[in-house]
Structures are given as C-alpha cells and as structure tokens.
Homo-oligomer: A and B are copies of this chain.
Amino acid sequence: MTASHRLPPEFLQTMAEAIRLLGNGQRLQILEHLDMHGESKVSDIVTALGAQQGAISQHLNKMRAAGLLSSRRHHREVYYAVAAEGAVTILNCLRRKYEEDRRRQ
C-alpha cells in the first residue's frame, strides 16, 4: 500500500493504450535492436528480426506515432531511433528479469 492520491480513470485509460504498444513481441524486439545497435534503417531491422517488411513498417509507424521512436530519411533509407527514454527503462527491467531468471534455473 503505497498511498499517493487517486489517478483519474481517463488518465489510466490513456496510459493503458500506451502500455499496450509495448505488449507485443516484435515491437519489443525492434526496441531492443534499436537500443543495442543505435539508429538503424528499416531494412536492417527487417533482416535482423527475420520478419516481414510490411509488418515491421507498421510497427515502426505505430511506435513513432506514439512518440517512442523518431525517424529521419537519408537518401533512400529511413532511419529509426529510440526517442523515449522510458521505453529503454522498461527494456532494462526485462533484462534484469532475464538475468534473474537465468540465475535461478
């Protein structure tokens, strides 16, 4: 029981929609790739994840629309990068959990 005052349902509803964005395996993989390799072009992400180009493009678009990523075009390629530090925070939580799980087993 951590106290603090009540958060409005509408706020929680909005936050729920943002959280749902990260509740997808491929999007987490994209986030991890960008965090590990830094700014990357779409084709590199597609190759690294072995996924379908159209699907990745849609994920990137959603994540950018939500402010998680930024993008810029250079010649023919479009480069994406992590724009919200909060996303990396969550990723680091997952890394810690992974290490803990590994130690336990």
* Number of this chain's copies in the complex: 2
- Known A-B contacts A19-B19, A86-B93; the reply to A29 vs B4 at CB < 8 A is no
Would you give the shortest CB distance from A37 to chain B, in whole angstroms? Answer: 7
List, in ascending order, chain B residues with CB within 8 A of A97's CB: 15
> What is the size, in residues, of chain A's interface with B at 8 Å between Cβ atoms?
39
Chain A, interface SS category: helix
Interface residues of A in 8-56 (CB under 8 A from B): 9, 11-13, 15-17, 19-25, 27-29, 32, 35-38
By a beta-carbon cutoff of 8 Å, the part of chain A in contact with chain B is: 1-4, 6-7, 9, 11-13, 15-17, 19-25, 27-29, 32, 35-38, 86, 88-95, 97-98
